[in-house]
Structure 1
């Protein structure tokens, strides 16, 4: 990923926070059939290794777990808030007219060693942790134990677990850092006027710098 210096984000806590906030990623591997990618939710274990470890699972019928090369690192791509930025919001448009549209966004690339596992006990632990992560905010959270044990056992036979030990993290926060303060203020005002939660999240990121 191309990352100009003013868009680079290297703080591990910031990267981890963004990954946890938007856990639906694309897992990219290279194997016998070339490049392959699967969209899936991943859970970050921040304390497992210097950059953390990602865990999740894929369908057993998904050939990626069989074809992914053990000799090459895998890549998990996470996205954050993003929005189109019109040049009409820039003060520079009024002053010189020398402006063009762009897109503000957050992107994180996590590279590392990918392994797969089929054992029932660790698979159940992955499913349990993923479920708790996404059910816990609900008023009446569903738990894996709510379903019959034999039913869950059957479901586990249909998936394969994965673990990606992160060896490198690259973060890109393209949030108008290359614009003059007046242009940045115009971007924030324009995004907030859209009355859209995603646009508001981008406005917050622009304000944070």
Structure 2
């Protein structure tokens, strides 16, 4: 990943926050000489050393986890937004401005393994449900579904653990612009009713 120093984020708290807010990861692995790419929600352990999730037993990632090369990269995509140069005060001064795209992303590199433990799997799925259901003001629990059905569904999946060896973020949030341009972008985002732009605003306001 191309990563200029002014976009580099290594603070584990900030990286963990993005993973928590945007848990759907793009997982890239090498399987028999080609890229195996999957999109899966993952959970980061409290100490930031492990990522946990689950996959269908038919998913080719099971082959990756059983191969001699278990290395994977999990990419978490935070907010992103087009930034028009018309917002920059420097446009009026020099005209030497171009559009750009702001975004925040986290790359986690590590090694994947399978967790073939029915008790762990049920607890994991239940925990993920409990975390995300309140987003929709819902109180649905795994136990609300018929037990026989739950068991059938659980038998079709298997747990995964990614031992994190490297966790790094790229938060491209106009830090490379003059202060007046940065402030102008923030001011314009504050006026927008679009949710995606409000998410970007939230990241631009966070401590760097």
Q: TM-score, normalised by structure 1?
A: 0.92
Offset of 1:207 from its aligned partner? 3.4
2:103 corresponds to: 105
In the alignment of these two chains, the number of paired residues is 206
Gaps in structure 2 of 5+ consecutive residues? none
Offset of 1:117 from its aligned partner? 2.5
Going from structure 1 to structure 2, the CA distance change for 1:34 and 1:155 (only over 3 Å counts) comes to same
Q: TM-score, normalised by structure 2?
A: 0.92
Please say which of residues 171-180 and 195-204 is displaced more in the overlay.
Answer: 195-204
Going from structure 1 to structure 2, the CA distance change for 1:149 and 1:198 (only over 3 Å counts) comes to same
Offset of 1:87 from its aligned partner? 0.5
Aligned Cα RMSD in Å?
1.6
Match runs of 1:1-209 below 5 Å: 1-47=1-47, 51-68=48-65, 69-208=67-206
Offset of 1:149 from its aligned partner? 1.9
Gaps in structure 1 of 5+ consecutive residues? none
Going from structure 1 to structure 2, the CA distance change for 1:180 and 1:40 (only over 3 Å counts) comes to same
Give the 3-state SS of the residue equivalent to 1:150 in structure 2. helix
Going from structure 1 to structure 2, the CA distance change for 1:204 and 1:151 (only over 3 Å counts) comes to closer
Mapped to 1, the partners of 2:112 and 2:95 lie a distance apart of 49
Please say which of residues 24-33 and 105-114 is displaced more in the overlay.
Answer: 24-33
Offset of 1:184 from its aligned partner? 0.8
Deviations 1:67-125 (A, max 9, x none): 45442421110011110000101111100000111000001000111101333112112
Give the 3-state SS of the residue equivalent to 2:180 in structure 1. helix
Deviations 1:44-73 (A, max 9, x none): 1122xxx32111111122222224544242
Please say which of residues 79-88 and 191-200 is displaced more in the overlay.
Answer: 191-200
Mapped to 1, the partners of 2:137 and 2:99 lie a distance apart of 42
Mapped to 2, the partners of 1:199 and 1:156 lie a distance apart of 38
